[in-house]
Amino acid sequence: MPFGTIHAAGITHEEAANGIHNSGQNYWIGNTSRDQYIGIFFGLSVAYELLGQADMQTTIQSLVTRMLDFLISGPS
């Protein structure tokens, strides 16, 4: 979620118990569930197949690799 959105304050307040993390110019909320990860992996796989654009496929590969590396590394 970008810092500048009008909903950022409400969402970060409501989700504070899950951990709000700064990622450059965005926030991300911790305690991501397995269902949320599965949804993202599924959506990225569909986009990869349907778009068929080499530049987008490279971006999707990078995102999937980054997510898998994070999951494999386990809790920090």
Q: Could you read off the pLDDT tens digit of each residue along the chain, which spans 76 residues?
A: 677 788 888 888 898 898 888 877 787 788 888 899 999 999 999 999 999 899 999 999 999 999 999 889 986 6
Same domain, 1 and 26: yes
Residues ≥6 apart with Cβ < 8 Å to 28: 1, 20, 21
Res 22: pLDDT: 81
* Token representation of residue 7: 């909903």
Q: Which of 1, 26, 19, 25 is nearest to 75 (CA)?
A: 19
**So what's the pLDDT on residue 7?**
86
pLDDT, residue 76, reads 60
Q: What residue spans of 1-76 are helical by DSSP H?
A: 8-14, 34-51, 54-73
Domain count of the fold of the chain: 2
pLDDT at 60: 96
Domain, as residue range, for 55: 34-73
Looking at the fold, whether 13 and 43 belong to one and the same domain comes out as no
